Structure 1
Amino acid sequence: MQLTDSGRVPLSRLVADRRCPLLHLSPSPGREEEISIMVGFKATDVPPTATVKFLGAGTAACIADLITFPLDTAKVRLQIQGERQGPARAVASAQYRGVLGTILTMVRTEGPRSLYNGLVAGLQRQMSFASVRIGLYDSVKQFYTKGSEHAGIGSRLLAGSTTGALAVAVAQPTDVVKVRFQAQARAGSGRRYQSTVDAYKTIAREEGFRGLWKGTSPNVARNAIVNCAELVTYDLIKDALLKANLMTDDLPCHFTSAFGAGFCTTVIASPVDVVKTRYMNSAPGQYSSAGHCALTMLHKEGPRAFYKGFMPSFLRLGSWNVVMFVTYEQLKRALMAACTSREAPF
């Protein structure tokens, strides 16, 4: 099949279903109707509803978690390493070194399944967290801009902070259980929980109901920061690429925007993420507050401790953002196309 100079296929040379979501019809005046090939589902004329965004965000986040969970587990192990030692002893006795070293050590000492410790709680977390913080972002942004299509940076940041904090209020216990599972070694006598349900019950029994909400303050701060960095950066990069006509609203644009959002988010959120992980995983009474945890880290391990696990954080957030946003954009279009087809089958 031969393409024209514009990268389009003449209609007379292509026999295809006009309803195919991978093809976009673009007739030109005075010329034979042509079809431009695009990657993924074509955007529908009707914008996605709040329900479609809510369900699509949760589903896309779960898919992203399934793919990137080992990187997240490696990040947690690196973040908690050395928390009971000074910086000199921590370096000397480090069990995990680097992303690949951490993953290989875990596979060798605990088995491959250890990389997916806490996956059930992680999926529970994403289905509730992402549905709220990502799925409701556009709706909240429109609320703050009173329905205006032109949202300023302030409205975007405010919307990101709101949905990020709201997500924590909905799903904090799932995050606590996920972190506890990822932090515990599968081998040895130090294992604290036998299953996801056991973790919920044990934490509630030994630490009270408040134990399931441990670390809420740093997690609210982290999610507000992450949501702003992630969604607002993605929003801004995508808008800039489209306005400058550098890319069309298609998979390459979504990929580029998501990768940039992942890097910016990692740089901004890593310190808060380390404190959140340490505090959530701490034994009762080890730290009096998240602030005390941060000060203890600074005193014992120095400023670099706040960027422990940076590389797995970036690998995880970068890849997670790419998978999540690309999947999310495609799911929104697929769901809306399905809804449209159901309403008008002929």
Structure 2
Amino acid sequence: MLRWLRGFVLPAASCQEDKEDYFRYRILFEDLDRDGNGVLDISELREGLHNWSSSFTPQSEKAILKAADTNADNKLDFEEFMKYLQEHEKKMKLAFKSLDRNSDGVIEVSEVIAAFKSLGVNISKAQAKEILQSISNDETLTIDWDEWKYYFLLRPAKDINEIVRFWKRTSVVDIGESLAIPDEFTEEEKHSGDWWRRLVAGGIAGAVARTCTAPFDRWKVMMQFHSLQSRRMRLISEFELMIKEGGIRSLWRGNSVNALKIAPETALKFGAYEQYKKWLSFDGAKIGIVERFISGSLAGATSQTCVYPLEVLKTRLAISTTGQYTGAIDCAKKILKQEGVRVFFKGYVPNLLGIIPYAGIDLAVYELLKNYWLEHHAEDSLNPGIMILLAFSTFSHTCGQVVSFPLNLIRTHMQAKALEESPPSMIDFIQDVYNKEGARGFFRGLTPNIIKVLPAVIISCVTFEKVKNYLGFI
């Protein structure tokens, strides 16, 4: 039935009389109302939207119900449904006019490109054409009001900014070393409280992912720590040594601190990101990709500076032997007493230097892969799908880690060797690694770090979606 409505809604769309509006809304409502009881519930909306188009997000029905349910009974009667569509069409009309800059009644390729650019996103002509073709019912590379109205009839967007964000798909996950640029929150998310729910969900997802992949993280740290002590240390032998020394539980040594620092790090990163964006924007203008990258990098540097002592504490726990410390607090007390406050910032410089290449490569590779897919493989939908995005995220995170890994290794050495009477400087460490092992020495421990990327990405994404649904935000 909904497939048939595609041919019905469009011809009627130009008619503005109340009777015809009532008639087409009534047909749509009755088709969605599967059990015929005169109200729509969340399951009927979900099924109806899926039949209407496969490009709806899993949360679209919640957005419609939240906006249209005026009496808060978690159901929609026909009056609520019709009022919502009437108000929604008015908003879509304003959005259409704001896109149609030359007021010729159609949206063209150049106007789509300009809309993205106004939000700081640059797209190619090929990508703009894909967007137009996904909406248009003919071979023309333009969209008229009838096509626009039909396409966004049941899509819960409110203005042109949300429509552009609907077209722009992103994925940010936490894999323990990620310094990805934070995504932007809409004004509605800030006022509704969805922003903090999203941060909570992201924090929980990050903690779960880090905990599940903690053995790989300690494995990496141990290989880095022992790299200058024994050039014969191999991947499997290092793992066997950890098991022999402390048992299975020792594989999670240091993970408590690693999970604990997620909350303050995330809060500081997003708060600093918003502030840096304001400082880099002039006269309220939309900031572009360069400004967002700078803001994200500075936010990452700010958050890392504040939580860096926890990073040192995590490394010390990871390389410790059984019984050396009774826990994180005992470790912190002993380090403070024996080595002083300054030791909590050992390795800070290489850690800070690693932020830019990691975040830059991660973002650039992800956007490159996504744009390539949109230009060459997008057909009926601009959403690549979760599996494609997971593959892109995994590869981009891996590239970022490979590029920044030498600095990561130097940071670990400086954190671990601070107890020596005259600890070497960063330059001394670099020379020492190169003289003993050559260029390959800078990548000792990379294998377990790469192995953990895919499971960490999957665990983080799945946990985020589960927690997001539980917290009830869109």
TM-score category of the 2 structures, normalised to the smaller one: 0.7 to 0.9
Name 1:343's counterpart in structure 2: none
Greater Rg over alpha carbons, structure = 2
Q: Distance in 1 between matches of 2:370 and 2:264?
A: 25
1:169-188 alignment to 2 at 5 Å?
Answer: 169-186=305-322
Corresponding residue for residue 19 of structure 1:
42
Question: Partner residue of 1:196?
Answer: 328
Task: Choose which of 280, 293, 311 in structure 2 pairs with 1:157.
Answer: 293
- Cα distance in structure 1, aligned partners of 2:223 and 2:464: 30
Structure 2 residue corresponding to 1:211, chosen from 340, 343, 358 = 343
Equivalent residue number for residue 10 of structure 2: none
Say if 2:437 is the partner of 1:301: yes
- After superposition, give the CA deviation of every residue in 1:138-180 in whole Å (9 maximum; x if it has no partner): 775576456666733x234312321221111110111111111
Relative to 1, partners in 2 of residues 1:201 and 1:122: Cα closer, same or farther, differing over 3 Å? same
What letter corresponds to residue 257 of structure 1 in structure 2? F
| Match in the other structure for 2:52 | 34
Higher relative contact order (CA closer than 8 Å, sequence separation 6+):
1
Question: Any idea what SS the aligned residue of 1:294 has?
Answer: helix
Spell out the pairing of 1:111-260 with structure 2 (5 A cutoff). Answer: 111-133=247-269, 137=273, 140=276, 144=280, 151-152=288-289, 154-186=290-322, 192-231=324-363, 233-234=365-366, 237-238=369-370, 241=373, 245=378, 248=383, 250-260=385-395
SS of residue matched to 1:298: helix
Q: Partner letter of residue 164 of structure 1?
A: G
In 1, Cα distance between equivalents of 2:35 and 2:55: 11
Say whether the 8 Å CA contact 2:221–2:318 is kept in structure 1.
yes
Alignment CA distance shift 1:14-1:333 (3 Å):
same
Q: Displacement of 1:215 after TM fit?
A: 1.6
Q: CA deviation at 1:213?
A: 2.0
Q: 1:287 offset after TM fit, Å?
A: 2.9
Cα distance in 1, alignment partners of residues 217 and 453 from structure 2: 9
1:279 aligns with 2:425: no
Aligned residues: CA RMSD: 3.8
Distance 1:150 1:119, change over 3 A: same
Q: Report the Cα offset of residue 279 of structure 1.
A: 0.9
User: Does the 8 Å contact 1:222/1:273 carry over to 2?
Assistant: yes
Distance, in Å, in 2 between the alignment partners of 1:14 and 1:140 is: 52
Q: Identity of paired residues, percent?
A: 21
What residue in structure 1 maps to residue 206 of structure 2? 61
Distance 1:139 1:304, change over 3 A: same
Q: Secondary structure at the match of 2:387?
A: helix
Contact 1:41 1:330 in 2 (8 A): no
- Residue of structure 1 aligned with 2:217, choices 60, 72, 93: 72
Q: What are the Cα deviations for residues 159-210 of structure 1, in whole angstroms up to 9, with x where unaligned?
A: 2321221111110111111111111232xxxx54221001111111111111
Query: How far does residue 76 in structure 1 lie from its aligned partner after superposition?
Result: 0.6
C-alpha spacing 1:287/1:40, structure 2 compared with 1 (3 Å): farther
Q: Which residue does the alignment assign to 1:7?
A: none
CA separation in 2, counterparts of 1:110 and 1:311?
22
Gaps of 5+ in 1: 5-9, 28-32, 341-346
Indicate the SS of the match to 2:413: helix
Aligned partners of 2:276 and 2:370: how far apart in 1? Answer: 19
5+ unaligned residues in a row in structure 2: which ranges? 4-30, 64-156, 163-185
Corresponding residue for residue 28 of structure 2: none
